[in-house]
Amino acid sequence: MQDIKEIWKQAVAAALTELAQQNGIVDIIRAEQVVVEIPPKPELGDLGIPMFPFAKVLRKGPPQIAQAVAERLSSSGNAQWGTVAAEGPYVNIRLEKAAVTKQILQAVLEHPEDFERPQSLKNRKIMVEFSSPNTNKPLHLGHLRNDVLGESISRILAACGAEVRKVCIINDRGIHICKSMLAYKEFGQGKTPESEGVKSDRFVGDWYVRFHKMSQEDPSAEERAQELLRKWEQGDAETVSLWKQMNSWAVEGIKKTYERTGVSFDQYYFESQTYLKGKEEVLKGLEQGFFYREEDGSVWVDLTADGLDKKVLLRKDGTSLYITQDIGTAIFRHHDWPFERLVYVVGSEQQYHFKVLFKVLEKLGYDWAKNLYHLSYGMVNLPEGKMKSREGTVVDADDLIDSLKAMALQEIKEKNREEAVGDGESVAEKIAVGALHYYLLQVSPTKDMLFNPRESLSFNGNTGPYLQYMGARISSMLRKKAGSLAESGSVKPELLSDEAEWALVKTLSQYPETVSLAASQMDPSIIAAYLYELSKAFSRFYHDCPILNAESADLAATRLALSKAVLEVLKSAMNLVCIPFLDVM
């Protein structure tokens, strides 16, 4: 759809260009150069456009320019969209409510796909890596933030027209998994997730915790785990077979959690399949003189000239490190799907790692290395305190969702809504996921945060359930439409004259640019904040303006159409931040 702001930007740019030409200046002023603001006071109009940026080119004072632009626009073909006035250095525009409302309702209700999908990233190929668990333990609260960030950003980028490929690296190799394996070997022979009645990833994680206990009592445990890693690298059959078994338990369980939260991937990469490629590349770089060998045999890169440090790329015994596999993984990924950009959603504690990784790939001659981007996010903890996986005090993802679900179910029962909602279990699960996701995304990715389960579930506040409730409320109203006054009326946008209606229309009109902004900033909290604004604007409208009982059939039909448009945008935006939609609640 032709965005209202866009229409004005173009009109202002055209007026400025004309003005320039009249004064013998050849510069062309483009719509992108025009900034649209919201005036501080509503009396000033709906949009305000500062003229400061053009003073230099036009060799005139901003107020003079504003005057000339306003005059021009007042007599141009844009009169149907609003009235224009100069106010100091600003060109202020008061939008023509009926025309704008008509346009928005049409755009949202008749071509929702176009409206909800601004094409700001059309055909860009963007790969997004997220979650990327280790296979020695189940997902925890930190992963939940990572998962929803990655999934949400992928959806937002795709909404802007990008071709998105979601990938995950499963770190299935290394000392961590050998630790779980060792504890299992010594204490768990014969036991299985089924025999113990435990979710399979948890089963593996429990052995990791057990290893930690073991190693406190027996200092040789660390060495024995290292020995297991060496055996694995040598392809020892028994070790490899145990490794396969434990990994498949871990991965199977982890995938169940993804399913539960609505997270999915287009491709999984496994460290065990990429680390040798990384090793090969490091050795190639050594031959070519980009890297050097220390006396003990280890291979290093010296990045001091790039403002970084020296970093080991292969251990003295030739075994690979965390970074080694990342080199191989990135190369495979670009080969499989030549991306324009690869975004790594990984915690802020790995900032240095990614700086080094990107530089190393650049040194190896991969020119696409400059298109790699680390989307770093902050820590998340519970109000009770810090999580430590070795000590088993980590907040397990499934447990957390289970407890949110139990609280939601209790709320449904207390409100006597069991019958109304139908399948209480499934509704409670969706409320739990909605509460969790919204709470995690509401904060900008870079900030550390606390997750407060109670607060996340509150029905009246800035929460996921509040948004779900808003959706259910509108849905229920639309179901009641049959036989109501609204059914016999027709939609007449000029009837909407209340301030609350106008505020709602304006909020709706901001959706496409909000999605583009969230994509360019890679920040889902922008969509979360928009959702809250939209819900507040709808609440005010719902409170101030009777809908099904409006004064006339036409007004009822028009207000209902507006509500329908809100529902459409609400659903679309909720999907972008991974909040399940509910028809009844």
Instruction: Tell the smallest beta-carbon distance from residue 334 to ligand ARG (Å).
Output: 13
Beta-ladder partners of 168 = 268
What residues have CB less than 8 Å from 18, skipping those under 6 apart? 72
> Which residue lies nearest ligand ARG, judged by its C-beta?
132
From candidates 132, 463, 509, 563, binder to ligand ARG by CB under 6 A: 132
Q: Which is nearer to ligand ARG, 314 or 457 (CB)?
A: 314
- Rg of the chain (C-alpha set): 29
Q: Which is nearer to ligand ARG, 119 or 351 (CB)?
A: 351
Instruction: Tell the smallest beta-carbon distance from residue 475 to ligand ARG (Å).
Output: 39
Q: Which is nearer to ligand ARG, 87 or 252 (CB)?
A: 252
Find the part of the chain contacting ligand ARG (CB under 6 A) among 42-50, 53-61, 128-136, 364-372.
128-136
Q: Site mask, ligand ARG, residues 317-356, x = CB under 6 A? A: ---------x-----------------x-x----------
Q: Which residue has the tokens 């028809």?
A: 583
Find the part of the chain contacting ligand ARG (CB under 6 A) among 125-133, 237-245, 292-300, 398-406.
125-133
Instruction: Tell the smallest beta-carbon distance from residue 134 to ligand ARG (Å).
Output: 5
247 counts as binding ligand ARG under rule CB under 6 A: no
Report whether 453 contacts 404 (CB < 8 A): yes
Where does residue 89 rank: exposed (0-12), middle (13-18), buried (19+ CB within 10 A)?
middle
Q: Which is nearer to ligand ARG, 263 or 515 (CB)?
A: 263
510 counts as binding ligand ARG under rule CB under 6 A: no
Between the alpha carbon of residue 77 and those of residues 14, 44, 97, 338, the distances in Å are: 12, 22, 17, 46
What residues have CB less than 8 Å from 566, skipping those under 6 apart? 474, 504, 508, 534, 538
292-293: strand order across its sheet: 292-293, 299-302, 310-314
What residues have CB less than 8 Å from 216, skipping those under 6 apart? none
Report the distance separating Cα 391 and Cα 216, nearest Å: 11
Instruction: Tell the smallest beta-carbon distance from residue 473 to ligand ARG (Å).
Output: 41
Instruction: Tell the smallest beta-carbon distance from residue 346 to ligand ARG (Å).
Output: 4
Q: Which is nearer to ligand ARG, 128 or 570 (CB)?
A: 128
Phi/psi of residue 345, nearest 5 degrees: -90, 100
Instruction: Tell the smallest beta-carbon distance from residue 577 to ligand ARG (Å).
Output: 22
Instruction: Tell the smallest beta-carbon distance from residue 129 to ligand ARG (Å).
Output: 6
| Nearest residue to 563 (alpha-carbon basis) of 499, 494, 497, 479 | 479
From candidates 92, 103, 134, 456, binder to ligand ARG by CB under 6 A: 134
Report the distance separating Cα 361 and Cα 363, nearest Å: 5
Q: Which is nearer to ligand ARG, 103 or 132 (CB)?
A: 132
Report the distance separating Cα 450 and Cα 180, nearest Å: 29
171 counts as binding ligand ARG under rule CB under 6 A: yes
169 counts as binding ligand ARG under rule CB under 6 A: yes
H or E stretch including 125?
strand 125-129
Q: Which is nearer to ligand ARG, 169 or 409 (CB)?
A: 169
Residues forming the site for ligand ARG (CB under 6 A) = 129, 132-134, 169, 171, 326, 344, 346
